[in-house]
Amino acid sequence: MPGTILITGCDRGIGLEAARQFAADGWRVLATYHEPVVPLELQAAAKSYPGLETLRLDVTDYDRMAELARELRGQSIDILLNNAAMFGPIVTMFGGVLLSRWRKAFEVNTIAPYKMVETFLSHICASERKLVAVISSKKGSIADNTGGGAYIYRSTKSAVNQVVRSLSIDLRERGVNVVAIHPGWVRTAMGGTTASMSVEASVRAVKKLLLEIGPGHSGHFLNYDGAEIPW
């Protein structure tokens, strides 16, 4: 049965497409966006699907996050999909790392997903599915790192994977499942035009996986097809 999903970073890419696909399946979608005004494509999606609501949220603005949680008081959230992220500069090889961007990326990619769970936990616990998912990346896998570089993105995704693992343990008794998901190499503004997977195909696979996740998956790092990825 469809429920309610809160998705961060719906301005474009995976977040926008996830909002569309879940709404098309009859879910109530709480789609957050970062821009000052609702992006045009998200506006169009909201007009097409009555169950899609747009909410402004910079995921590093924790006062606004708390305000939004108060606005949604008493409402359950079946799935919290932490999608908002930043890549950092493309050139992040040794000697080319901008520390200010690294700090910002840690705020967006690692701290914000934790704060979303902390802030919306009562909403999640009030639901039937009780699922938290973080869009991570294979670039955060230490075992999979054979190319070096990408210091900003790799380190922030490795760190959020550790957050996922700890949350899965700390929230187990409350019945909350927490997973990290690699969505594939996707043709988005972040993934680039040469990526191997369309955003539509990636989201279809991720959506299918989200609907299949149970307690046995909690605390794991999963590929979009459900295969386990080494930490």
CATH code: domain of residue 45: 3.40.50.720
The answer to whether position 231 is within a domain reads: no
* 174, two tokens: 């409350």
The answer to whether position 230 is within a domain reads: no
The answer to whether position 229 is within a domain reads: no
If you average pLDDT over every residue of the chain, what do you get? Answer: 94
The answer to whether position 93 is within a domain reads: yes
* 84, two tokens: 């908002």
Number of domains in the chain: 1
* pLDDT tens digit sequence for 138-174: 999 999 999 999 999 999 999 999 999 999 999 999 9
Amino acid at 25: D
For residues 110 and 11, give the distance between their C-alpha atoms in angstroms, rounded to a whole number: 19
The answer to whether position 134 is within a domain reads: yes
Which one has a higher pLDDT value, 91 or 103?
103
pTM (2 d.p.): 0.95
Which one has a higher pLDDT value, 151 or 92?
151
Q: Closest Cα to residue 121, out of 158, 179, 76, 161? A: 76
Domain that holds residue 177: 4-223
* pLDDT tens digit sequence for 167-211: 999 999 999 999 999 999 887 766 667 767 899 999 999 999 999
Own/partner contacts of 210-214, CB < 8 Å, gap of 24 or more, are 210/79, 210/81, 210/131, 210/133, 210/181, 213/131, 213/133, 213/177, 213/179, 214/177
Kindly tell me the number of DSSP H helices and DSSP E strands found in the chain.
7, 7
